[in-house]
Amino acid sequence: MKTGENYYLIGKKIFIDSALNFCSFKDSKQKIIEALYYFDKAIENGYEDSDVFDYRGNCLRELGYDLNALEDFNKCITIHPTWASYYYERAMTKRYMLDFDGAIYDLKIAIKLSRLDNEDTRSYAGSVRKFGFETLTQKYESDLQFYIHDTL
């Protein structure tokens, strides 16, 4: 019998593989559905680390289940209220839901929290440089300008 963490790790691998491999839309969607299955199983088996809700929220958002994704990002924020990335993910979800004011509000919180030195901000520091940003804060501020412009 697999533990919740094992299900999580299987789902994470499938999700990351689907993001890194260039495959058809149908294949990508199928992999996301498969990853979602494993994240659900992980939670059913007692694994409730914030990462499982983050990945599941991303799957749900990709599949168009924005309200469910929003609930998962809310859980992430409850577990780690000072992690900027979770506010950012929730902002993206709110934007998809056309809640532009809510998205902007969450992005402003993400910007503030991105200035903290914690595990979350350190883990994203390198990845934003790949996209031409010096800091996570700079990336979030750029997205905020895009969101504001998008609402005009």
Question: At 19, which helix (H) or strand (E)?
Answer: helix 4-20
- How wide is the angle at C-alpha 143 spanned by C-alphas 141 and 147, nearest 5°? 115
- Which amino acid type is present at position 89? E
pLDDT for 18 equals 85
The verdict on pTM exceeding 0.75 is yes
Whole-angstrom CA distances from 38 to 24, 48, 86, 116, 129 are: 21, 13, 21, 32, 31
- Which amino acid type is present at position 67? L
Q: Provide the token pair at 94.
A: 């709110």
With a cut of 60, say whether residue 1 has pLDDT above it.
Answer: no
pLDDT for 30 equals 93
In angstroms, the first-to-last Cα distance of the chain is 53
Q: Using one digit for the tens of pLDDT, what is the confidence trace for 87-136?
A: 999 999 999 999 999 999 999 999 999 999 999 999 998 889 988 999 99
With a cut of 70, say whether residue 23 has pLDDT above it.
Answer: no
